[in-house]
Chains A and B, each alone.
Chain A
Amino acid sequence: MLEQERVAESAALSGRATERLTNPYLRNEFGLETIDLNVGPQHPAMHGLLRLILELDGETVVRCDTVMGYLHRCQEKIAENRMYPAVIPLTDRLDYFANMHMEHGYCLAVEDMLDVEIPPRADAIRVLMCELMRLASHLPSTGFLMLELGAFTPILYAFRERERIQNIFEAVTGARMMFHYLRIGGVKADLPADIPERIWEYVESLEANLQRDFVDLIEGNEIFVARTRGVGRMSQEKAVEIGVTGPALRCTGVDFDIRRDYPYSWYPNVEFDVITDTGGDVEAGYRVRIGEIKQSIRIVKQVLEKLPEGEVMGDVSRRIRPPEGEGFGRVESPRGEFAVHVVSDGSDVPYRVHYRDPSFVNMQLLQEILPGHYLPDVIAIMGLIDPVSGGWDK
């Protein structure tokens, strides 16, 4: 009884499933005898809840179809049901590996509508927190890449560093992951007195063991090179065409970084260079991330040296009612360009909030470059894009 129901159900959805049940040696339109592998929502290497329906000929991927929505938490509908400051905790849960950047994007969008002047100290603290968050996101993403290639140890070292950063975040904002630290117009509270030294110490220690734990352990490894060089190679036109942004785009050589090209917040007073690579494959993505970690350390040091004095909250009235109109915020999150478009109708509640999530757009790469790769390469390419399911499913 169950079987017939499933067959009927799949007949409705797509014809091939039923034909396969009756004739197992079915050939698809390319004349290949393929099996459908359902790399389902619960899978150790799917960076969250993504279901890839891979049509495999042996181990080579012939066609790939992504099914999303397994973590669709209706962020945009709920945002239309909250007052302006109350949406900030929701943005934390968007891309839960880059919480600070999400808050920053939303706050920039709303401040774009209000004509509020953000004190320089608040801007500097925001940049400091965002760069620490970038460290806490790039390190585990290299760790996940190695975990998916089969090495279990680098992820432990990555999370050891992330724990230390989370201790700093806890001291500053009070929470380990969901900070709700930024406010519209500034920052909730000033840095505690001992935090700058602690951050300086930590950044020094990270710089020391970054070479030992991450670069030496991974970069020279022949198996890592064999598994990642030339895998998921894409040309610059293809990457820009698909709208890929962030490390996945920079690894093909296009040097586009929102912090430099569309400067926001305190980034103009900080020098850093945009890391690009020419490979366009998974190994280039790894190198770009390691380079960006070094750049973030450089930025954190500069911010700590030039931390301006002053209060941390602009003069914003307790009840935020931006005038009718639209606000735009664009931020360079560790995965790419995170943009927020807020439409207000003059009331206390945003009329419409639209998040442009980098993981959602970068994932279109899967359908373009996967055919022709082996199944283990699919997992490596997921490591190149490093999407987060809270982001793409909104």
Chain B
Amino acid sequence: MAEPHLPERQSPLEPEYNPGSHGNFEHGVDVILSETRLGSILQLAAWPGEEKRLIEVIRKVTGLALPDGAGGGVNNGARAVFGFAPGKFTVVDEAEGLAQAFAGLITPAIGTLTDLSHGRTAIRIAGPKAEWVMAKFFAIDFALPAFPLGAGRSTNHHDIFAQIQRSGADQFDIYVFRSFARSFWKALCHASEEVGYEVQ
């Protein structure tokens, strides 16, 4: 059932989204901030014991093979998946309609699918000081050995819950609740001023 073409979604960041260089950029831009505006953000959950079957469905639909282990994940540019809780995975796609691709495959025997494409906002931070800026918010270890490429983490900054995937050696994708996204974005920009940042 192909959806008819849908209009563009409104970004929650809009009035505060100011492309260009900011902060202490005269000394170099050390992080780049952007909203990735993904078409699909899904939560997939498997009943205990059904995780392997769910992972197999994810591979079939997205072509992404999840590595073993808690918080494991993988990212191929357009699509990404990572575990964020026992038996639970976030699967994203640049394109809309990923939920329909899973329709019928996540059977009641396996688990559930919840579409959060509107409810979560994806923010990317990239650059040599990405770890430094992230450490201002989250009490988790962002060093590469502790937080490997592709891996996912669930954490929070006070009231703001976040899922984070490392999508590059010095790049993180942060998923926050849409209603909090603007506040978090403002705080992220503020914290990035020290190192100089560019909004793309």
Is chain B a partner of chain A in the same complex? no
